[in-house]
Chains A and B, each alone.
Chain A
Amino acid sequence: MSTISMLVRVLFGVAFSFAATLTAASAAPVDSSTVSGLGVRNIGSAQMSGRIAAIAGRREKDGKTTLFIGAASGGVWKSTDGGTSFEPLFDKQPVQSIGAIALDPSHPDTIWVGTGESWTRNSVSIGNGIYKSTDGGENWTNVGLPNSERIARIIVSPKNGDVVYACVPGKLWGDSADRGLYRTTDGGAHWSLILHGGNLSTGCSSVTMDPEHANVLFAGLWDFRRKGWTFRSGGDGPNAPSGSGLYRSDDGGTTWTQLTAATNAGLPKGPWGRIEVVIAPSNPNMVYAFIESVRSALFVSENGGRSWQERDRSQRMVWRPFYFSRIVVDPTNDQRLFKMNLFLIVSDDGGRSFSNSNGGSHGDWHDVWIDPTNSKHIVGGDDGGLWISYDGGSKWWKGDNLPISQFYHVSVDNKDPYQVYGGLQDNSDWVGDSAYPGGITNERWENLYGGDGFYTFPDPTDANFAYTEAQGGTIARVNRKTLEARDIQPRAGYNEKLRWNWNTPIALSPNDPATIYIGSQFLFRSRDHGTTWDRISPDLTTNDPQKQLQEKSGGITVDNSAAETYTTIYSISESPRNAKVIWVGTDDGNIQLTQDGGASWRKVSTNLPGLPNGTWVSWVEASRFDAATAYATIDRHSFGDMGTYLYRTTDFGKTWTALVSPQTAGVRGYAHVVREDSVSPNLLFLGTEFGLWVSVDAGQGWAAFKPGNFPAVAVRDMMIQPRDNDLVLATHGRGIWIVDDLSPLRSLSSQTLDAQVAFLPGRPVQQRIQSNGGWVDGDAVWVGENPANGAVISYYLHSRQVIGKLTIDILDPSGTVVDTIAPGKRKGLNRITWSMLTKPPVVPPAAQIAGAAVQGPRFLPGTYTVRLTRAGKVYTMPLTVGLDRRATFTLADRKAQFDAANQVKGIFLRMSALVGEIAALRAEAGALAGKLPAADPLRAELVQFDQRADALRKLVVATTEGGAITGEQRLREDTADVYGAIMATEAAPTPYAVARVAVLDRELGDVEKSLAVLTGAPMRDLNVKLKAKSLPPLTVISMTSDAGDTVDAGDGAARTIFQGMVGARYLGTRITSGAAPEDR
């Protein structure tokens, strides 16, 4: 038992205990409710934002615009103010990848969302069906198509909201019969597959409905497939057979007719790839179709699809059809249409010619919505987020409020506060603040490089440099002052090609800050910032030539962007215990190990139980505690297996144990990353496509980390900031998140979980310097969340607190209760924050609030006690509070500031007492005067007495009311001014501030003396005269403070006067001035 605990017990005579001695309750498993109360905060950023896959909008009757944004991997967002602000709607759903959004024309509150993006790039996520909301997006129900994986388009019949079409491309990574065009006629209760392809890789890419005849539909079928090393849109080559085709139905989709070059003049010859078909909303005869073929082009029919003309086939029309195919026709102009592509292009002549509509946008467009009431008002989405145009698409406002950024990786430095580094899909490499006064605005993030961003690290040897990376292993060392980027990518030798993965691994040595690794098929090591590289391995992959044919990848349209480069190293980890032990994972299934710094290598992936050979090793993690121990995650989603795989070896890879397999209950999503805690070997973190999981028992059990604000978003990487014990998450779709101080998880034990209540120690508490930062940015800018401002207290509750008080008191080192704070109530881990503020000064009422004096100074550093009382039981924990480690002032300085602030508080208190006394005197004088006839001379004397008292009051407080800026400075206002100066910093006050306090003390003393004079002879004389008229005497009340936390203003006038003054207490003593003590 600690000394403090013993002291508390003696002082308070209550039963208490730490977790070890708590009353036993029924055992609770470590589940999501246990760990999620740790909380998590999002720092974004919305600066770079991320890919938007689908947009729906509506101009409301009141003139406002409602928008629904479907993020590629960040859920659905809704704005009811035209994009000024957004709220996430999909945070409670199990997937975050969005393919399509449709609004029911007949029922404004009915929204349909197809999950699973259809822009099928290598990093695309997956969905799990179609969702429906009937309340504007607040609540959602998955209404079917669970095996669709991705949905490209949804159409709700304008005639009947129960008739809905869902265009399902289907699974990207494997065969599936669950693809094609589906229809429901009962609002989603049942679905029928009404159009499907001739093979198991052909799904639906597009569907459009005649605006006047709802039974007339066109649909595009698309044959496509992606593997880890190749992709095809259409068949396996430009002329290979393909299941793609264009179809028309005249009976609402019950029967279909294929449109081909043979049947419909003007259509291109097959085989075809991706197809997009759109009927102009204002003219059902005008049909546009983009058709991928060896002569990809825009085709236009002006007779409802009977015959077609080839129109634009410029590069910006035909580039990358799998990624850019959407056509949006102006709802009021059948000749005006936008085509999504690298650049947004627009035609005003029915597709004969196009011009660039990209303006200053990011590029890589996927969807636009055109306001049907004003076609100059356009909202669009590309790889860089949201864009709004008011001039028909020439110039664009950037949306700064969608934190849907798609990070691949994250790292941190050791600044204070530390900075966060990371690279994002198509959005470069960035560095941002983990905390900043006023919030982490977009401006707190700085771009370092370009291209698609991946691994980004601060150079541990020189804070002026950072390592950055773009796709395909393009690594640079960037000067953070000049942003000069030196290309340091190792180059190939004679007759050699280096194979760099899209997401090429870079690793820093945990043993030598000057050592950095990068992997192609070979592992490279540099000890001089990339000036030279040592190739320290042979080809560590399978080097399968059949998986190195990326120059032919793409199907009909060749697409070799490094996204399919295969047989590459994908993960690197040097053992923190032994620099010669290096683990490497490859995308084609190898785990390779060297124990001699690269001189020799051994393949150790032959014994992973339950796993086929050749599957993607997404992460290797050398243990921090044992050189023979390592972890590996396996990602088989590129083989169509979405299961979770995590293994551990403790014998240098001779044997492996599955810690997580697809059979593991509660864990979802293909695995991206595993991290071992920096302190506890039992604490593991697993990031998958659907979130974060935590194990506190070395992988035996796993709990989903799911705070209420954290969606089921892909966790692609994570890093522990070792000084602050923060877990920093890189999500692919919702930016960077920080779990502040994970150390309470290290203390979770079965003993803890058996307890009704248990405190969990956190990191040392600092009194972080208070400051202001940032500036007003309006409502259209997203701001990242700062860590809690105060002393964070963590505790475990076995069950939620619903009935009865749960009280948390703070006791100072002497055992005195100095504060009572609002408790957390949730089941499992709770986190609350103690402000560490003393009570505010007792400031006398005046015309306006003294804004500089609404808070007290923080308590001095020291060891406090947290006391939790629940159901009559008391639990305590010591809480040591220290100075901000950045402080340039000493504890003595801090004490000087504290004392000076308290001295001013003392002046305020005297001032309040004085004002109270004056007010009470005036009230009595006024009441007594009112009892006398108007002509009575004593009445006039009482009035004069009242006026003299009020004159004193007006020396103390500003009295001019009315809300104007009066500039009226009296003692109260002057005191607040110097109090604010002292409180502005916790360093020692300036000499002139101290001197000013002395001046104000003296000036207040002068008024006190004046009151004493007034309540002396003049009041004595009045009381004699009052007595002669049998009236009660004037009295002086005595005001003081007991430093209590509530107001007890006694009775009568004093109660009225002092009501609402936190910390003030009227003790109820009345003194009849001039009377002998015995008369009191």
Chain B
Amino acid sequence: MRLGGLRIFALLALGFAVGTQPARADSGTDLLAKNLAARGGAEKLAAISSIQFTGRLIVPGNFELTYKETRGRKNGEALYESSIQGLTLVQGFDGKVGWRINPFEGRRDAERMTEDDMRALADDATIDGPLLSSKARGATVAYLGREDFDGTDAYKLRVVEPSGVQYMYFLDPDTYLEIKVVETRTLRGARQVTQTEYGDYELVNGVYFPFEIESGPLGSSPDQHQKVLIDSARANVPVPDMMFAMPAAPGKK
């Protein structure tokens, strides 16, 4: 479960002028179950085959774009669209191939993503999110105890995927929903760590999704964060395969 993704901002920049406690062996499993229940339960989550969010994206420097994110369950497909001046940055993943269209410098043809970039996009794209899909993805989950996050004594869970990508989840102790995740992955051989905060959870077809997402490089100041503010969400929207396929010809987005 992750809306947006810091990597959007990196693309947008182009055209603009301007203390841990010992863990119990089964605590990770317990917390996963509580998180699943808090989100709405396995049945309701599984009933969502696709989801679409629309809202605003605010990137550092106070630039505002429209935002649309569409995710499908069948292939883990996803489409992110951010627009300004009628130009739309598109990032897509069809289950196998990641691609993008960045029109801000005058090109509208789709570019294929690197494997690392695609993996990052794909990992973000799952409807269930890395935490709840950890078992299915063969990831290991460890409970690391409690840790303060901005005044909340959060549960800290570490999810390590077979690829080596690591997510450090912080669960709100009252609701068991994610309030922060620190994601560590390797891009082009270099370690990249991003932090994302979640809030304003709303029910979508009986499942809680965050409607406010703030993210940035770990340790960056709030002014350097990207914010996604969701206005509306729809579950089980039609998501034909071609919607996510990399355009063969220059894009018309």
Contact = CB atoms under 8 A, between A and B. Distances in A.
B17 A854 contact: yes
Interface stretch (B24-32, B44-52, B70-78, B149-157): B149-157
A86 to B, nearest CB: 10
B221 A801 contact: no
Given A141-B20, A837-B62, A1046-B231, A788 B223 contact: yes
Contacts, number: 186
A1061 B66 CA distance: 8
B223 to A, nearest CB: 6
B172 A849 contact: no
Contacts of A80: 190-191
B161 interface: no
Contacts of B214: 822
A827 B16 CA distance: 36
Contacts of A847: 106
Given A138-B168, A848-B104, A800 B151 contact: yes
A962 interface: yes
A359 interface: no
A1061 B58 contact: no
Interface in A32-60: 32-34, 36-37, 39, 41
Contacts of B199: 800-802, 806, 823, 825
Nearest to B213: A822
B211 interface: yes
B19 A92 contact: yes
Interface string A133-155: 00100111100000000000000
B150 A822 contact: no
Nearest to B153: A33
Interface string B237-252: 0000000000000100
Given A41-B221, A837-B62, A140 B20 contact: yes
Interface string A755-785: 0000000000000000010000000000001
**Max count, chain B CB within 10 A of own CB: residue among A36, A140, A822, A826:** A822
B15 to A, nearest CB: 4
Nearest to A1061: B86
Given A33-B152, A87-B219, A850 B85 contact: yes
Interface stretch (A251-259, A504-512, A558-566, A1052-1060): A1052-1060
Interface residues of B, number: 64
B211 A805 contact: yes
Contact of A785 (B105, B166, B202, B221): B221
B203 to A, nearest CB: 9
B106 A963 contact: yes
Interface stretch (A176-184, A492-500, A838-846, A1027-1035): A838-846
A805 B200 contact: yes
Nearest to B231: A1046
A528 interface: no
B201 A802 contact: yes
B16 A801 contact: no
Given A92-B147, A804-B200, A961-B107, A843 B223 contact: no
A99 B64 CA distance: 47
A996 to B, nearest CB: 18
B18 interface: yes
Contact of A845 (B66, B85, B179): B85
Contacts of A1057: 86
B196 interface: no
Contact of A1062 (B15, B64, B81): B64
Contact of A1061 (B83, B174, B212): B83
A36 B18 CA distance: 32
Contact of A709 (B20, B147, B174, B219): B219
A822 B229 CA distance: 7
A406 B175 CA distance: 42
B150 A37 contact: yes
B219 A962 contact: no
B16 A962 contact: no
Given A87-B193, A855-B63, A1060-B84, A801 B200 contact: yes
B187 interface: no
Given A80-B191, A788-B223, A827-B150, A851 B201 contact: no
A845 B200 contact: no
Interface in B212-228: 212, 214, 218-219, 221-223, 227
A446 B223 CA distance: 26
Contacts of B65: 1060, 1062
B144 interface: yes
A803 interface: yes
A31 to B, nearest CB: 8
B197 interface: yes
A878 interface: no
Given A33-B148, A34-B151, 17 more contacts: A87-B218, A138-B168, A138-B184, A800-B152, A800-B174, A804-B201, A840-B64, A844-B86, A849-B84, A849-B87, A851-B17, A961-B250, A1045-B56, A1057-B86, A1059-B83, A1059-B86, A1062-B65
A-B pairs, top 10 by smallest CB distance, nearest first, are A1060-B83, A33-B151, A845-B86, A851-B17, A826-B150, A849-B15, A827-B151, A825-B199, A835-B62, A963-B106
27 contacts: A33-B148, A33-B150, A37-B151, A41-B221, A80-B191, A94-B19, A772-B18, A786-B223, A788-B223, A800-B172, A802-B199, A803-B202, A805-B202, A805-B211, A822-B227, A822-B229, A825-B199, A846-B85, A849-B103, A849-B105, A854-B18, A960-B106, A980-B17, A1045-B56, A1059-B86, A1060-B65, A1060-B87
Interface of A: 32-34, 36-37, 39, 41, 62, 64, 80-81, 87-88, 92-94, 135, 138-141, 706, 708-709, 772, 785-786, 788-790, 799-806, 820, 822-823, 825-828, 833, 835, 837, 839-840, 843-855, 960-964, 966, 980, 1045-1047, 1057-1062
Interface of B: 15-20, 56, 58, 62-66, 81, 83-88, 103-108, 144, 147-152, 158, 166, 168, 172, 174-175, 177, 179, 184, 189-191, 193, 197, 199-202, 208, 211-212, 214, 218-219, 221-223, 227, 229, 231, 250
